[in-house]
Amino acid sequence: MKYSRLCFVELRRLLRKKSFWICVILCCCTPLLGFLPLTFEDDILSNKYIANPVIAATAAGGIIWAVFSLLEASRVHRTGTDVLTDAVSAPALLPAARMTAQIILVTCTALVCALIWMPYIAHKMEYLFSLKFYLANIAVMLVPGWWLCMLIMESLYQFTRKAEAAALIFALAVGCCFLPYVMLNYSLRWICPTVVTYSDAFPTYWPLRVGLWARIIWLSLGLALYLLSLAAVRKYQRGMIVSFLRGCKQVCLPISAALLIALAVVMGAYQPFIDHDPRSYLDEDDEFFWKEYIDQRLVISAVNIRYTIAPHLTTGTVSGTAEYDLKNNSGYKVENNEFSFVLNPGYTIEAITLDENPVPFETLPTVVSEQRQTKFTLPQPCVGHLKIMYHGMPAQRRSMLPLLVMSTVDPDYVSLYRNSVMPEMLNINVTSFGADYSIILPEDMQLLWEYKPVTDKEPTGDGKNIWHVKADSDYIFNLQAGKFVTRKIEAGGVHIDFTYGDIYDSVVEENDICGAVKAVIDYCSEHYGPLIYTEDDTLSLLQTSALITGGWAFPGAATWMENILTPESLKDAERGASAKEVFIHELIHHWWGGYGVSFEEEEIWGCEGMTVYSTYRLVKELYGEEYAKKYYVEKWIDEVKQQDRNFYNRYPAFLERLPKAMIKQILEDNSGVNHYSRMPLMLLKAEQLLGGEAEMDALLNRIYKEQVIDHLADGEVLVDYSFEDFLRDSGLTEEELHVDENFAL
Amino acid sequence: MLMKILRYELKRIRLGRLYPIMLLCNIVYACIWMWQIGLSGVGGTAPFSKWTYLAYCGAMLPAAVLSLLLSQANYYSEKQQKADILPLSSPYTAGELMLIRITALLICFLIIFLGEYLLFSIPFALFFGTAEVLGYPLIGLIHMLPTVILMLALGCLIGKIRGWLVYVLAAVTFITGLAQFSVPFDLFGNKFFSEYPLKLPTGSAGEPAFEIVPLWICSRIVYFAVGVVILLLSVRRNRKPTLDRAEN
Amino acid sequence: MKIDIENITMIYPSGKKALSDVSFHAVSPGFIGILGPNGAGKTTLMKLLIAGLIPTKGEILLNDKPLLPQEKELKAQLGYLPQSFGLFDELKVTEFLDYMAALKGISGKDEIRRVLACTGLEEQKKTPIRQLSGGQRQRVGIAQALLGNPQLMILDEPTVGLDPEERVRFRNIFSELAQDKIVLLSTHIIDDVQAVCSRVLIIDGGRILFDGEPSALVEKTEGKVGVYVAQTGDAVPEGCHVVSKVNVSEGVLCRITGDHLPDYAEPVRPTLEDAYLCCIHKGART
């Protein structure tokens, strides 16, 4: 019987099976698992109503279809009808036809499931719902996941010819997807790629692009495995190996499998989304990169530095040109005419020219901390107009995933970070002269430079604007572009530009968010002192995409997470250390941190502890003493208690016998508890010993004045404020400030 | 004769390949647990404390039960039912044969238990030089055995209704093993031993003394008793000649 | 040993009436062949005899005592080979027989060696059962039934899958065993019954149609079997059944059975097969 006709026969047979319809019904119910309290509760509606249900349905539905596939594959052997069917058609033909029919039916089921749930999800997400985005999730996450589960399960059965063994290996493979290492590594989680997060305010397709790439890799591997398993279908009553060797004589099977495996390997090796730095973030402290360039005398300097950056929103790529006028003002001869710069590893250097003449260059394969080095050789005397042209998709730093996806180019949003914007020269002096930036963006997008809105733009006439920025240094931390709204707030004697995604404008209005911002600034200014590190007395507060976890503080700017402005988070009063409080925390860093009082980082001393304490004080005013006690003080006591009880903290001698990675982890955990729990508890105890909040505020006010205001007024460099300094200023002793689990308010 | 039959049943389980694979999976899982959780110690206690050991037993228990249930499910497969026609024509009743097989499964459990115990005790003896762990197996058995007996008894009961239901029980075991229930419903004890020590006061060494609440002891006794009762009921039912399932 | 089956009726829960008021008696020594079409009730009868089923009505007595309370004693003396059975594929032949011997309370390797020799399985004794052919698996089944020299042997289609030479050998073995045992042999192969059975039981529709010696059955069928040459398209004579058709030069030589043969049919000496078919057809009519 012809293959196509056999597929049709199988299709009809499966449609008549009760078990198939049971599986369809179960699969249509699987998205419910994404709504259960067991899964991650998220303020981002795209996570809550799209990501969670789709991922749950992919995993659960995949398992259901895999079991169905196994039962179907083993049916002929269980019932003994294989002797009849093998006499009619080639032994491998029937499984292939059955799999084709299953794939068709499963795809239809996925579409039906998507249609069933769509009205509910659209209703819940309201204006945030995007049909295109929703269907993209179904197409990238759900459908391939179900295919893959069936292909793998049936392949395992064809190889082992034992249902239990196939089920067991499949279960192990699924179980591996839930190991912590695999959960974080997008490419290894075959059943469903890791979705770091979606964003409502700044819709991003980055997780879907990454997911699609991973899907193609795994589908290639799954299909290759399946083709090889077809070769291993038992023939002539021989075992697996002999049947496989005979089956491979149909060369199309092994060749196709080999090509698919090659495709997967190449795609895995050349995936463009995440850098290939194999080290974890735990290793990054151990060595300084490019140290060979630190002590080099910089003979050549660059002036008239110009960068032109053009993000391509549809493809997610960036084209850039960096131009430098090289001069030798050092008085020294150039001995080594080999120069280097680093750039995001996702970019390809298209050309390097000096005075329009091509310059030989070599991009090294090693990636270190989201930077890849390119070396180029200039002809003596190494002066002239240098131009570097580059293009590509910015790659994320692997060690920072899933917390941070800093550089992404999407149809409605652009975020580029450091070396995703322009190259960083290693042995050419560029820092003293500033740079001109030109960024080309669609006309409906607003550019934010170092988190502050830019105003200088000119239209190009083809629906785009060129934004001009003149920077004092060539080093940029971040640029963003999107549809923003900026509201002006006056608080604490400072002009505040409160910038957020336009989609939340009504939410800001209804919830008086500007009032809340004003309350924080006013509180801190009143209790500690005026803000110092503004620019032109302006502080920029910028909402960032949910892809960038946490908040950041810079001179004249602070960021806050998208989570705090969602309708979900704002209506939920029963929260502890919520996104809103993270926002407050980041704002307060402008008083306690590198842009306020600079703290000496010691074992149980640092800017974080002071900021956490101050956050607690403000939260206490905003939400009441009970709330603050429950979500701050009791949490600190609990963490200190757990730390004190930890066996290795009680017996450090045993710690030395552990593996190095484990020791490092324990020490880092200790550091976190010390800074985020023990120190705030110490400060709370200090407050009690000093006589109350008023006395503590007076002390902090004095510290801020002496360490920041007076130093700046005198033109002095700020010095780090140590724990000893605090003891001296407070008149307390270290023993008095000792805290443990018995601490009580 | 009984020992010979038991030996052959053990041999059949060994030759069946499922059990050796599951034993390996249990060992690998134990290694992962020891590396990720055990070495740190649970509830702030020492990694070689009884708390940690029993939390380890509780974590391993679902995997051990799962292995045994999958092996038990094999007895209710169509092929096995057909192969049992001849043994059932012997003087041994179906119930007696089932008891022998349950005994074989319990021996298999003891092998898993021993492997996991060695995996726990040897590293600590080598690296921490502590011999405390030598006295732990008894309490570990008290923790694990009642649950094993109960689950095998349930497997016997529902396997008689429909063989594939034992697979369902195995799946339920797997899911329940991930859940965190409180005593007395903490069938696997994987919450009690890691959280209870945190509630206890610490002694001079900073270590909460090892104690077990009476409720936990009662739960073990209840599981054991219920398991034995279900097992006896299953055996007793089998003593009367009934309709041949193959005929049906 | 003595077995008495008194007015047994067996109705399955599905409503199917497998046996209807069946009675018969067996005393050792005796070799009883049980014949009947598929679904006649043969297997049900055998399962009742091994206490595998509880009859709906009636009683089974073993040595004049009810069977069920003596189940253990019965099984200690029983050699049973069902029509459809499985084996433990993972074990070797000797291991499986050792296991069955242990179940039957038989110790020592001698008995196993004896049955292996009896069934011609010495060369396969260390072979895993999964590697055996269908006929060899059947011989393993026979071997386990022979273990312990049981007083009652119940064999349901024991020679299925065996070649003719083996079939003859085994039926002779069974015949030897029947010298001091009760052997119940259920089969479709009339030759086996004719060759070795001293008594034949014909069952159909849950009823016993004939219980007696094979020769008596043949005698009853005298004058009811005939042959004639038919032409293509000729109808079967009314009231008769065709036993065989052979193409000959004149047409088709038909062998028929019936209470009243047509005039053109030449009566011939009936075989046991003829007698069996005649009995079945008669039973179907009544």
**Nearest residue, CB atoms, B92 vs list C52, C103, C107:** C103
Q: Is A367 within 8 Å of A361 (Cβ atoms)? A: no
Chains touching chain A at 3 or more Cβ pairs under 8 angstroms? B
d(CA A576, nearest CA chain B) in Å: 22
Q: Between chains, do B44 and A646 touch, taking CB under 8 Å as contact?
A: yes
Q: Between chains, do A172 and B25 touch, taking CB under 8 Å as contact?
A: yes
* Residues contacting B245, CB < 8 A, separation 6+: B81
Residue A138 in tokens: 């179904």
Kindly list the averaged pLDDT for each block of 10 residues, start to end, along chain A of length 745.
83 91 93 76 83 92 95 86 74 88 96 94 88 93 95 95 88 84 76 82 87 93 94 81 86 92 92 74 53 71 90 92 88 83 92 93 84 89 92 84 77 88 87 83 90 88 90 75 89 84 83 79 87 70 79 73 68 55 77 80 88 92 89 90 86 82 82 91 93 92 86 71 91 88 68
In chain B, the residue whose alpha carbon lies closest to the alpha carbon of C103 is B90
Torsion of CA A84, A85, A91, A94, to 10 degrees: -170
Say yes or no: A658 contacts chain B, CB-CB below 8 A.
yes
User: Which helix (H) or strand (E) covers residue A226, if one does?
Assistant: helix A206-231
> What pLDDT is attached to residue A568?
66
Using the Cα atoms of residue B58, residue B60, residue B66 and residue B67 in order, give the sign of their dihedral.
negative
Residue A422 has phi, psi (to 5 degrees) of -150, 165
Q: Looking at A221-343, which runs of residues are DSSP E strands?
A: 301-312, 317-327, 338-343
- Rounded to whole angstroms, the Cα distance separating A636 from C201 reads 90
- Rounded to whole angstroms, the Cα distance separating C232 from C242 reads 14
Strand partners, C241: C257
The overall average pLDDT reported for chain C is 88
> Do chain B and chain A touch with ≥3 beta carbon pairs under 8 Å?
yes
- Rounded to whole angstroms, the Cα distance separating C159 from C195 reads 14
- Could you tell me where the DSSP H helices lie in B124-240? 137-161, 165-178, 192-199, 214-239
> What pLDDT is attached to residue B240?
45
- Rounded to whole angstroms, the Cα distance separating A633 from A627 reads 10
Q: Looking at chain C, which runs of residues are DSSP E strands?
A: 2-11, 17-27, 30-35, 57-62, 65-66, 78-81, 152-156, 182-186, 199-204, 207-212, 225-230, 240-248, 251-258, 266-267
Residue A222 CA neighbour count, 13 Å, CB half? 23
CA distances in angstroms from A477 to A149, A417, A448, C58, listed in the order given: 43, 6, 11, 96
* Residues contacting A58, CB < 8 A, separation 6+: A141, A142, A145, A146, A191, A192
Secondary structure percentages of chain A, helix, strand, coil, to 5: 50, 20, 30
105-144 in B: which are within 8 Å (CB) of A?
127-128
Q: How, if at all, do strands A457-459 and A484-491 pair?
A: unpaired
Q: Looking at A300-412, which runs of residues are DSSP E strands?
A: 301-312, 317-327, 338-343, 347-354, 357-358, 361-368, 371-377, 384-392, 408-410
- Which positions in chain C touch B237 (Cβ < 8 Å)? none
The per-residue pLDDT for range C117-168, each reduced to its tens digit, is 988 899 999 999 989 988 889 999 999 999 988 999 999 888 878 888 888 8
Q: Is the peptide bond before A659 cis (omega within 30 degrees of 0)?
A: no
CA distances in angstroms from C21 to B54, B248, C48, C50, listed in the order given: 64, 22, 13, 18
The per-residue pLDDT for range C181-226, each reduced to its tens digit, is 899 999 888 888 888 888 999 999 899 999 999 889 888 888 888 8
- Rounded to whole angstroms, the Cα distance separating A157 from C262 reads 63
pLDDT over threshold 80, residue B30: yes
Report the Cα C241 to chain-centroid distance in Å. Answer: 24
DSSP characters for A669-726?
HHHHHIIIIIHHHHHHHHHHHHTSHHHHHHHHHHHHIIIIIHHHHTTPPP-PBPHHHH
Secondary structure percentages of chain B, helix, strand, coil, to 5: 75, 0, 25
d(CA C179, nearest CA chain B) in Å: 23
- Rounded to whole angstroms, the Cα distance separating B54 from C145 reads 50
Q: How confident is the model at residue C285 (pLDDT cuts 50, 70, 90)?
A: low
The CB density around residue B135, as the number of other CB atoms within 10 Å, is 9
Strand partners, A516: none
- Domains of chain A and CATH, by start: 3-269 (no CATH), 300-481 (2.60.40.1730), 483-566 (3.30.2010.30), 592-745 (1.10.390)
**Nearest residue, CB atoms, A647 vs list B21, B36, B41:** B41
In chain B, the residue whose alpha carbon lies closest to the alpha carbon of A658 is B39
DSSP characters for C157-225?
STTTT--HHHHHHHHHHHHHHTTSSEEEEE-S-HHHHHHH-SEEEEEETTEEEEEE-HHHHHHHTTTSE
Q: Which of B22, B39, B168 to mutate to test the interface with A (most CBs of A within 10 A)?
A: B39
The per-residue pLDDT for range C59-107, each reduced to its tens digit, is 899 888 888 888 888 888 889 998 888 899 889 999 999 999 998 888 8
User: Which helix (H) or strand (E) covers residue A466, if one does?
Assistant: strand A464-471
C144 exposure class (CB count in 10 Å sphere: 0-12, 13-18, 19+): buried
Q: Select the more confidently predicted residue: A684 or C169.
A: A684
CA distances in angstroms from B11 to A383, A488, B7, listed in the order given: 83, 80, 6
* Residues contacting A362, CB < 8 A, separation 6+: A374, A375, A376
Q: How many residues does chain B have?
A: 248
Q: What is the pTM of this model?
A: 0.73
- Which positions in chain A touch B25 (Cβ < 8 Å)? 168, 172
In chain B, the residue whose alpha carbon lies closest to the alpha carbon of A180 is B36
**Nearest residue, CB atoms, C54 vs list B5, B11, B241:** B241
Q: Is B33 within 8 Å of B59 (Cβ atoms)? A: yes
d(CA A172, nearest CA chain B) in Å: 9
> What pLDDT is attached to residue C71?
83
First to last CA, chain C: 34
Max alpha carbon distance in chain C (Å)? 66
In chain C, the residue whose alpha carbon lies closest to the alpha carbon of B16 is C90
Q: How confident is the model at residue B245 (pLDDT cuts 50, 70, 90)?
A: very low
Buried b (16+ CB within 10 A) or exposed e, A656-668: eebeeeeebebee
Residue type, A352: I
Tell me if residue A310 falls in helix, strand or coil: strand
First to last CA, chain B: 32
Residue C279 in tokens: 């009995």
d(CA B74, nearest CA chain A) in Å: 9
Q: Is the peptide bond before C29 cis (omega within 30 degrees of 0)?
A: yes
* Residue pointed to by tokens 């799946």: B171
In chain B, the residue whose alpha carbon lies closest to the alpha carbon of A657 is B127
Tell me if residue C109 falls in helix, strand or coil: coil
Say yes or no: B71 contacts chain A, CB-CB below 8 A.
no
Tell me if residue A515 falls in helix, strand or coil: helix
Q: Select the more confidently predicted residue: B178 or B142.
A: B142
Using the Cα atoms of residue B237, residue B238, residue B241 and residue B247 in order, give the sign of their dihedral.
positive
Chains touching chain C at 3 or more Cβ pairs under 8 angstroms? B
Tell which residue, A605, A567, A556, A583, has the closest CA to residue A449.
A556
The CB density around residue C48, as the number of other CB atoms within 10 Å, is 23
Interface residue ranges in chain B relative to chain C, Cβ cutoff 8 Å? 1, 4-5, 8, 11-12, 15-16, 79-92, 240-244, 246-248
Whether the predicted interface score ipTM is above 0.90: no
How much of chain C, in percent, has pLDDT values that exceed 90? Answer: 23
Q: Which of A647, A664, A740, A742 to mutate to test the interface with B (most CBs of B within 10 A)?
A: A647
Residue type, A386: L
d(CA A98, nearest CA chain B) in Å: 24
